[in-house]
Amino acid sequence: MLRRAAWCAAAVGAVPAFLSAHAEPTICPQPQQAVFSCAVGARQLAVCASDPLTETTGTLQYRFGRPAQVEMAFPSTGAAWREVTRGGTLMFSGGGGAFIVFDRRPYRYVVYSAIGRGWGSKAGVVVERSGKRVANLNCTADTRSELGPELFSAAGIRPFEGSFELP
């Protein structure tokens, strides 16, 4: 089940969940919190945020792997993450979605979550190499997603200038 994203919470004026405690296990190191997390088969996918995360402070990181063996953590701790991170939204009839892009040339990792009438919910990560899609890893279990304009604005994440189509 895909939990409602922050873009839905923003519409009703709710406090975003990325500011509250998150007790579910993820591959985010303590004391970071997952603003996106799900299982991808036997592995986990997460976008981890420090607390506080504001327009000028904090960090955000893409993580993939197992809790005991993280296969990828990008950008590295202390790196200028805002330089390689962009956010965007998707609009559909009867739904919408959001995505966050981590650019690690020649690769790009696009973490997404969306809900649409007629097809339900989708979440996962698309991996691109030199602009071509090389993998799509779908979330296989419950997804926690706080991706959306409220998070992007609060964290100072600039808009993605390209296009992204759901797989």
Q: pLDDT digits over 119-158, tens only?
A: 899 999 999 999 999 999 999 989 999 999 999 999 999 9
Q: Which residues have a Cβ under 8 Å from the Cβ of 54 and sit 6 or more positions away?
A: 154, 155, 156
In this prediction, residue 46 carries a pLDDT of 98
Domain boundaries defined on the chain? 6-159
Those residues whose C-beta lies under 8 Å from the C-beta of residue 167, and which sit 6 or more positions away, are: 122, 124, 126, 133, 136, 138
